[in-house]
Structure 1
Amino acid sequence: MPLKTSYLLLLLSCLLNLSARCQTIQILSAGTKTSLRGLSAVDDQTIWVSGSAGTVGKSTDGGQNWQWMNVQGFEKTDFRDIEAFDAQTAIVMGVASPAYILKTTDGGQTWKKLYENRDTSMFMDAMDFFDAQNGMVIGDPLQGKVFIAKTQDAGNTWQTLSDKEQPTAATGEAFFASSGTNIRMFSKNGFVFASGGKKSSLFMPGLKKDLPLIQGKETTGANSIAIKGKKILIVMGGDFMTKDATTDNCFVSTNGGMTFAAPLVGPHGYRSCVEYLKGKNWIACGLNGVDYSTDEGKNWSWISKESFHVCRKAKKGNAVYFAGGGGRIGKLILN
């Protein structure tokens, strides 16, 4: 390798490492038995989380203080995803046995049941909203068809897609309820979501494509997808049984999901969530830590070894929050 080229690569590596050292994670809450996988940041101050044992939490001061609640009548429900709209309004998704969608409009004091499914095979995995009115949930396949339900009235009513509209899943293909981020809506009717298991695929309206992520086992495949505009997509996952493995756990598309390429330096383990921040900056988290990219996902730096399930940027603001096992909640600090 020519000396000049070697020097430039070394300089690039140093710059990336310097950038990585500028980000740290501040732990805001921890020390409980609750597993938190639902996270929604309305703005820099208003954050909602949800998780096991019917748990929902809310902070209105940037995570310094929390109001914790166990939703009455749903104390055994695992709330794997939550979508919040302000300090008073939030929608929470309970995955199974049975599956529920609930809504509060009074800050969590009371909850109204909006949807219930008692099918013994039902398992809802993730939920996303394009705006305050339009949202979607996806669930594991029923009779070989991906479960999809939509709302156009702020979650007050939900319509299940017809059998003809629901995509077909391969044998052993399903979805992970690991972070609520394997579905993203980019318009009222536009969406992209990613599957895992023995088969890992990318789904968009009228399109299903194979993904190059590791797959073949029930524990492998895509866990999360994030989008920038309509062209740049980053999909992440791996094998959650081997949290430190880095093989085929991240791929980047710059043409709307038509083709994918592996990063030059990938995330440093299984990752359950990836989130677009701003500019060329992205963040991802998993069981063995947090990775940060400043170059559109081409290179990832391991900035923390704190374990988290989900990371989300404030919808109206710049704050980035994390949630995970043991009631752990964190915040990204830019030094």
Structure 2
Amino acid sequence: MQKIIFGLFTFFLFGFAKAQTVKVLVADKKISMRGLSVVNDKVIWVSGSEGAVGRSIDSGTTWKWITVKGFEKTDFRDIEAFDGMTAVIMGIADPAYILKTVDGGDSWKVVYENKTKGMFLDAMHFWNEMSGIVIGDPIDDKIFIARTFDGGTTWESIPPQYFPVAEKGEACFASSGTNIVALNLSEAVFVTGGLRSRMFIRNDKFEMPILQGKESTGANSVAVKNIKKKPTIIVVGGDFTTKDSTTKNCCITTDGGKTFTVPDIAPHGYRSCVEYLQKKNWLSCGLNGVDYSTNDGKTWTWISKESFHVCKKAKKGKAVFFAGNGKIGKLVQ
């Protein structure tokens, strides 16, 4: 009887994951999209290369495409949207910029500029509509961090003496805008890659069982479940030059980084983004497809071989969207 019950339970989990798939909504854009913000089930924003920003207010059925004037060559690798009219975009480097729109993308204001040699912004995250953070690659072995407390209208770097110290060859990946995320209502957790791959929480740094040792290896994305309680944290990555490898591409901690476990069945390749959905359900995507977990990351099911850089669940809603090289997708059942 126990074997029968276990078999039925396993079948249910497998069947649930298999029922999920990805519908491609846009497939013909000549840009790479790594920025994605899903405000609710109807309002979605994306950002990417060649100064591109896209917005949909009808659940991804139709899109308004914008090339930000004066930034036609800028790679906007992250975006945070607050409604159908207001959004903040992050231009990574040469120089690094943050811009804001309040009119649906018709006009943009430069709200932050940094011409420091070597400056390269990786990701933004907002706790709410006012409080946000941006993280950048190390300069002089110190990881750059700036904060906003007015919805991205103004930004200030934290005092340099409080910049986290990186080791040689350690940096952050600007692969999906998700290597930093809220840990609780006031703090963030971020992950690094390269020659070293670590998790940073406050002043603590934790080694992770994630592939490391080369410029192309390490943690790419982190997501958190239960920020008001004891959090479950899942990290994904790998080596973006070996998209099909499952070696050390995912790890899980439930005690704030003190210990880590690895999945019994890992995501099926390098993964650039992980997202918590609901209950024990998580999603991860990368160059060779999309994986779904129904048991807090213990096992992952390959539900689509469509390539995407980033996946996000609606901040106010249930819809889940993807963005990648030239295309946008939606999770469907």
Q: Bin the TM-score by the shorter chain.
A: over 0.9
Instruction: Tell me the secondary structure at the aligned position of residue 21 of structure 1.
Output: helix
Distance in 2 (alpha carbons) for counterparts of 1:188 and 1:104: 26
Aligned mates of 2:314, 2:209 — CA distance in 1: 30
CA distance in 1, matches of 2:122, 2:34: 11
Task: Tell me what 1:122 maps to.
Answer: 119
| Cα distance in 2 between the residues matched to 1:79 and 1:187 | 27
Q: Which residue of 2 aligns with 1:278?
A: 278
Partner of 1:333: 332
Q: 1:164 aligns with which of 161, 181, 192?
A: 161
| Post-superposition CA distance 1:84-127 (Å, at most 9, x none) | 00000000000001110000000001000000111220100000
Specify the alignment match of 1:198 in structure 2: 195
User: 1:24 corresponds to which residue?
Assistant: 21
| 2:131 is equivalent to residue 142 of structure 1 | no
> 1:276-326 CA distances to partner (integer Å, 9 max, x unpaired)?
00111000000000000011111100000000000000000000000000x
Q: Is the 8 A contact 2:145 2:157 kept in 1?
A: yes
Q: What is residue 324 of structure 2 aligned with on the other side?
A: 324
**CA-CA distance at 1:17 after TM superposition:** 2.4
- What residue number does 1:256 align with? 256
Moved more, 278-287 or 16-25: 16-25
Q: Does 1:289 align with 2:289?
A: yes
Q: C-alpha distance in 1, partners of 2:56/2:320?
A: 14
Describe the SS at the equivalent of 1:150: strand
Q: Which moved more, 1:103-112 or 1:24-33?
A: 24-33
- Checking the alignment, whether the CA contact within 8 Å between 1:43 and 1:317 is kept in structure 2 is yes
Q: State the SS of the aligned residue for 2:162.
A: coil
SS of the residue 1:115 aligns to: strand
Given that residues 182 and 224 in structure 2 are in contact (C-alpha distance below 8 angstroms), is that contact kept between their aligned partners in structure 1?
Answer: no
Tell me the equivalent position of 1:39.
36
What is the deviation of 1:188?
5.6
1:132 Cα offset (Å): 0.5
CA distance in 1, matches of 2:128, 2:184: 9
Change (3 A) 1:133 1:187: farther
Once the two structures are TM-superposed, the CA of residue 264 in structure 1 deviates from its matched residue by 1.0
The unaligned stretches of length 5 or more in structure 2 are none
| Count of aligned residue pairs for this structure pair | 330
1:240 maps to which residue? 240
The SS at the match of 2:160 is coil
Q: Which amino acid aligns with 1:282?
A: W
Shift of residue 10, structure 1, vs aligned partner: 5.0
Unaligned segments of structure 1, at least 5 residues = none
2:181 match: 184
Relative to structure 1, is the Cα distance of residues 243 and 12 closer, same or farther in structure 2, using a 3 angstrom cutoff? farther
* Deviation of the 1:265 alpha carbon: 0.8
Q: Which residue of 2 aligns with 1:64?
A: 61
Does the 8 Å CA contact 1:134/1:188 hold for their aligned counterparts? no
User: TM-score with structure 2 length normalisation?
Assistant: 0.96
Partner secondary structure for residue 206 of structure 2: strand
Listed one character per residue, the Cα deviations across residues 117-165 of structure 1 (whole Å, up to 9, x for unaligned) are: 1122010000000001100000000100000000111111111111221
Contact map agreement 1:16 1:301 (CA 8 A) in 2:
no
How large is the RMSD of aligned CA atoms in angstroms? Answer: 1.4
Counterparts of 1:168 and 1:221, CA distance in 2: 17
